[in-house]
Structure 1
Amino acid sequence: MKLLFCCSAFLLLLFLDPRVCQGGNILVMPTEGSHWINMDFLLQALHSRGHNVTIVLSNKSWYIKDNSSYYTAYTVQMDRYLDKVLNTKLFSDYIEFERGALPLSSFLHMTVGMFSLFIDVHRIVGEFVSAVLDEQELMRKLKDSKFDLLLTDPCWGAGVILAKYLNLPLVYNVRWLIATEGHLAIAPSPISYIPITGSGNTDKMSFHQRVQNMVLHLITQSQNYLVGKLVYQPISDKYLGPNYDFNELILDAEIWLMRVDFAFEYPRPTMPNVVYMGGFQCTPAKPLPQDLEDFVQSSGEHGVIIMSMGTFVSELPADMTNEIAAAFAKLPQKVIWRHKGNRPATLGNNTLIVDWMPQNDLLGHPKTKLFVAHGGTNGVQEAVYHGVPVVGLPIFFDQYDNLLRLKERGGAKLLEIKTVDKDNNFLNAIQEVLIDPSYRLNMQRFSRLHRDQPIEPLNNALFWIEFVMRHKGAAHLKSQSYRLPWYSYYSVDVVLFLAAAVLFVFLIIFILVRCLYTAMCKPKLKRD
């Protein structure tokens, strides 16, 4: 009888608890590349909590599969999609320029090409969302599914338009908003101490660095605005009507799940609907495949180094890979290297080349001594989570800035890509980090700081996604600042009004004084 009473009370508490969220219905517009890797992790967690997940993807997607045990996929046929080969070619050209192998004229041509590519990528994304909205049978299914919210990454604008078309609450898995960092779009961001990604600055800037920071901020904000107006605004006008400004729509998300935290990010102003989940994809290491475990164990007391340059840069120039391989061959450690190019001629017996590796599990292995990385957000956060020091080879995007944050905390050594194969720089950097214990101690201290949170980042993200489902949005957390024109946001109109009022008062005083002076001086002139 007592057991029955306890069970009944427990069920009653579950029924009355307002935080309980029955299985929701979630629509997802994903993004490609490394952005999909962490989105995929979030979708698996949502499915494990009983939510129904549906994604919309292109038939030419690079990584996203159209069949899965934890989501339903609707595949849209596209004539063209993002060309990974073209991206790789441009990135290779950038590496060659950094090394001085391309003249300035080629760099300028490449810069124009990169911006043109950036616009073209978003035009293809625009074609994708147009194809989705034009497919009547698919739209009927999406409308009939009665979704609770739409989850997307706003570095592409497709999900924003689809969410508004279906009238769904919008939740972001976000670091970037098209061409700018997410905070800059939604939160007050004084450029005097908030470094713009790509500037290479910290939150302690000289006058020269603040000038550089401001110029870069203006450039990225202009790019962001232009892409919205040139690419997504015509699509918004066509499917949503002319009364919606895309650059306002993209700021109208209920919750921004930000893929950083303040152990990693510099302190800055934020907003109540920004939720921090840095490192949410990081987990304790799982056992390695047996062949990989045998290779790791064969390293003995020296341990293992792992190297990966991420999803976009699968291979480096041949002479550079030969220099890296030769440096690895001189080390007593075993090396696991994710590399898809030609086998380097100087490869040593201690180095294992793989097409793919369980990066998180290797970083969490007790024999892993060092991570050689390009500085992508996922890899950097996994290194922090497991306390593994880093030798960084940043190439583009946010990679230098991510690695700079590790260097500032004493956990990483940075190399410029143009100096990797000069004067044994690569070998010296690796030996320095391996020999000097401060690098590992600092990263372990950083790891403890990152992990010491009242709620795990993934659980925090899941709570707020379910919060939006329970309450049909989070309007009480959204600032109305995004609806204000820039002159109202910065109170330019108020300042001008007050300045005019002050000038008017001074003008009245001046007129009164002049009249008084004239009145008092006239009788004196008559007497004379």
Structure 2
Amino acid sequence: MLFSGTLPFICDGGKVLVYPLDGSHWLNMKILVEVLHSQGHRITVIRSSTSWYISEFSPYYTSITIKKEQSQNIESQAFMTSFLKRSIEIRRRQGSLWSFLDFYWNLFDMAGETQQDVANMVINIFENKTLIKELHESEYDLCLTDPAFPGGVLLAHYLQLPLVLNTRWTFIAEAHFAIATSPLSYVPQLFSYNSDKMDFFQRINNIICHGMLVYMYYFVSNPPHQAVCNHYFGPDVDVLSLMQGADIWLMRVDFTFEFPRPTMPNVVYIGGFQGKPAKPLPADLEDFMQSSGEHGVVVMTLGTLLGDLGPEISDIIASAFANLPQKFVWRHVGKRPTTLGNNTMLVKWLPQNDILGHPKTKLFMAHGGTNGIYEAIYHGVPILGIPLIFDQYDNMVRMKARGVAEIVEVTTLDVESLTIALKNILDPEKPYKQNMHKLSQIHHDKPMKPIDNAIFWLEYIMRHKGAAHLRTESYKLPWYVYHCLDV
């Protein structure tokens, strides 16, 4: 009788349509998919035939594979390696107007191609009448998608499904900029490399960076999707408004990481939802960790999309490692460095969460991806960042502002400077470890685990068929009405 009495409050086996992104974004989405499956929900994942990480077969979901002749840029290791090389070349010339324009031209070129690929995939889905009929007949309870590439936003509107965004980035900028008031006086824009404390010249830079991303939205990212909207929904519909009309925004940050800023009622902060206790390490890795003695271990990895910095930079890193008494575990892709010391273990893959949670781990040396940063926060491990592309430098600026990290510039890296940086942050007299321990305590001190919070709101949308009462109507207003210029 008691069990029966709880049934009205339980979401009983919903159907969830998932339209994910590949790469590290899929690692985020996969966690939600697996937990939803464990709660008894049925998951369908839309993937491309060229997908890099999203498997066609899984015990956690049923997949729908969309045939593609050519992989998207984010699905290609060769493209990402080439993009990284080009980005580093541009950064070597930073400080000039030409390098500034070259940086954004490189970004716009990549974004334009990728967004066009996404739009083409959506058209293929819409034109497949058999598939569309099956999707309608499946009667999904909601669509869960990542709006960095808004194919899922368009599909959810086409199927008239409640929409939940698993997001930090949209196809225009950081996600808050699409939904909440974001004063540029203290809210840093992507690529500004600013904290929330800006002087006059930093605010100028912030506005310039914002202007470049506004340009990207109007002339690079949006046109392919607006063409889809015009054809299938009419010219009065745009993808940004569809995205702003989402029921819930599951934001992959919290305010141990992000700077304080205005927000909205339907934004749910799930930063660190991938965090979990460490499991025992494989025997060979455990033996190596224990052999470090009192000096401990430094863990280095550059994430899922990147790994090969080239032999020149790899040799510099290996030489710096060889100068120190610590042991180093390095997830390395590419040619073995010629200067590798006996204190360094190269691996093709490592259990990142488990090794960060090991008591011998003293430092995390990483590119600054959000997933790795949150695992470091979860386990209280300071960070030495080598940011490479996209949001990584801005992420590391946030960690440095918290006093838990330092940044080294990959384009000016040499053995001496890297050795000094490692010694500095490993010095027990410096406050990095204590600051990160405090930050970790704050991150853990919550009424509900981030993953439980995410699942609650997903099931909330299933139970109530949306959450219109949490959604502002501001996105429906013309810009001149929004700013009261007519008044």
Same fold at TM > 0.5: yes
In structure 2, distance between residues paired with 1:229 and 1:429: 42
Conservation of the 8 A alpha-carbon contact between 2:143 and 2:161: yes
Conservation of the 8 A alpha-carbon contact between 1:254 and 1:273: yes
Task: Name the counterpart of 1:233.
Answer: 226
Conservation of the 8 A alpha-carbon contact between 2:168 and 2:251: yes
Conservation of the 8 A alpha-carbon contact between 1:228 and 1:246: no
Look up the SS of the partner of 2:217 in the other structure: helix
Letter of the 1:137 counterpart: T
Conservation of the 8 A alpha-carbon contact between 1:164 and 1:240: no
Look up the SS of the partner of 2:187 in the other structure: coil
Conservation of the 8 A alpha-carbon contact between 1:97 and 1:103: no
Higher mean displacement: 425-434 or 100-109: 100-109
In structure 2, distance between residues paired with 1:40 and 1:67: 13
Counting only pairs closer than 5 Å after superposition, residues 112-261 of structure 1 correspond to structure 2 as: 112-227=105-220, 229-261=222-254
Does 2:267 align with 1:274? yes
* Equivalent residue for 1:32, pick from 22, 25, 35: 22
Letter of the 1:63 counterpart: Y
Look up the SS of the partner of 1:250 in the other structure: helix
Letter of the 1:375 counterpart: G
In structure 2, distance between residues paired with 1:399 and 1:21: 37
Task: Name the counterpart of 2:49.
Answer: 59
Conservation of the 8 A alpha-carbon contact between 1:126 and 1:232: yes
Unaligned runs of 5+ in 1: 1-7, 495-528
Does 2:56 align with 1:71? no
Higher mean displacement: 108-117 or 347-356: 108-117
Does 2:22 align with 1:11? no
Does 2:78 align with 1:98? no
Conservation of the 8 A alpha-carbon contact between 1:225 and 1:247: no
* Equivalent residue for 1:46, pick from 36, 41, 65: 36
Letter of the 2:305 counterpart: F
Counting only pairs closer than 5 Å after superposition, residues 422-437 of structure 1 correspond to structure 2 as: 424-437=416-429
In structure 2, distance between residues paired with 1:228 and 1:247: 11
Task: Name the counterpart of 2:367.
Answer: 374
Counting only pairs closer than 5 Å after superposition, residues 400-439 of structure 1 correspond to structure 2 as: 400-421=393-414, 424-437=416-429, 438-439=431-432
Work out which of the two has the higher radius of gyration on C-alpha atoms and give 1 or 2. Answer: 1
Conservation of the 8 A alpha-carbon contact between 1:90 and 1:114: no
> Deviation of residue 110 (structure 1)?
6.3
Q: How has the CA–CA distance of structure 1 residues 104 and 478 changed in structure 2, closer, same or farther, with 3 Å as cutoff?
A: closer
In structure 2, distance between residues paired with 1:103 and 1:375: 25
In structure 1, distance between residues paired with 2:37 and 2:115: 30
> Deviation of residue 229 (structure 1)?
3.8
> Deviation of residue 35 (structure 1)?
0.7
In structure 1, distance between residues paired with 2:124 and 2:5: 46
Conservation of the 8 A alpha-carbon contact between 2:19 and 2:143: yes
Q: How has the CA–CA distance of structure 1 residues 425 and 156 changed in structure 2, closer, same or farther, with 3 Å as cutoff?
A: same
Higher mean displacement: 105-114 or 238-247: 105-114
In structure 1, distance between residues paired with 2:96 and 2:303: 27
Conservation of the 8 A alpha-carbon contact between 2:80 and 2:306: no
TM-score, normalised to structure 1, is 0.88
Task: Name the counterpart of 1:316.
Answer: 309
Look up the SS of the partner of 1:407 in the other structure: helix
Does 2:276 align with 1:286? no
Deviating beyond 4 angstroms after TM superposition, the runs of 4 or more aligned structure 1 residues are: 100-111
Conservation of the 8 A alpha-carbon contact between 1:259 and 1:277: yes
Does 2:325 align with 1:335? no
In structure 2, distance between residues paired with 1:466 and 1:362: 33
Give per-residue Cα distances to partners, 1:228-284, cap 9 Å, x unaligned.
541101112222333422221121100000001112111111100000000001111
Letter of the 1:287 counterpart: P
> Deviation of residue 111 (structure 1)?
4.4
In structure 1, distance between residues paired with 2:333 and 2:128: 38
In structure 1, distance between residues paired with 2:331 and 2:159: 42
In structure 2, distance between residues paired with 1:103 and 1:348: 38
In structure 2, distance between residues paired with 1:39 and 1:224: 25
Q: How has the CA–CA distance of structure 1 residues 488 and 341 changed in structure 2, closer, same or farther, with 3 Å as cutoff?
A: same
Conservation of the 8 A alpha-carbon contact between 1:412 and 1:439: yes
Give per-residue Cα distances to partners, 1:315-371, cap 9 Å, x unaligned.
113111101001111222211111111000001111111111111111111110111
Letter of the 2:312 counterpart: D
> Deviation of residue 102 (structure 1)?
13
Does 2:471 align with 1:471? no
Letter of the 1:60 counterpart: T
Task: Name the counterpart of 1:493.
Answer: 486
Does 2:378 align with 1:388? no
In structure 1, distance between residues paired with 2:6 and 2:191: 48
Conservation of the 8 A alpha-carbon contact between 2:94 and 2:100: no
In structure 1, distance between residues paired with 2:453 and 2:94: 47
Higher mean displacement: 266-275 or 130-139: 130-139
Q: CA RMSD in A?
A: 1.8
> Deviation of residue 397 (structure 1)?
1.8
Q: How has the CA–CA distance of structure 1 residues 428 and 48 changed in structure 2, closer, same or farther, with 3 Å as cutoff?
A: same
> Deviation of residue 103 (structure 1)?
10
Task: Name the counterpart of 1:520.
Answer: none
Look up the SS of the partner of 1:181 in the other structure: coil
> Deviation of residue 106 (structure 1)?
8.0
Q: How has the CA–CA distance of structure 1 residues 105 and 484 changed in structure 2, closer, same or farther, with 3 Å as cutoff?
A: closer
Aligned residues: 483
Conservation of the 8 A alpha-carbon contact between 1:93 and 1:110: no
Unaligned runs of 5+ in 2: none
Give per-residue Cα distances to partners, 1:85-123, cap 9 Å, x unaligned.
223212112213323599986885564243122101100
Look up the SS of the partner of 1:492 in the other structure: coil
> Deviation of residue 146 (structure 1)?
0.8
Q: How has the CA–CA distance of structure 1 residues 142 and 318 changed in structure 2, closer, same or farther, with 3 Å as cutoff?
A: same
Higher mean displacement: 432-441 or 353-362: 432-441
In structure 1, distance between residues paired with 2:94 and 2:163: 46
Letter of the 1:435 counterpart: D
In structure 1, distance between residues paired with 2:240 and 2:434: 45
> Deviation of residue 436 (structure 1)?
3.4
Letter of the 2:23 counterpart: G
Letter of the 2:273 counterpart: F
> Deviation of residue 416 (structure 1)?
1.4
Conservation of the 8 A alpha-carbon contact between 2:93 and 2:99: no
In structure 1, distance between residues paired with 2:358 and 2:36: 27
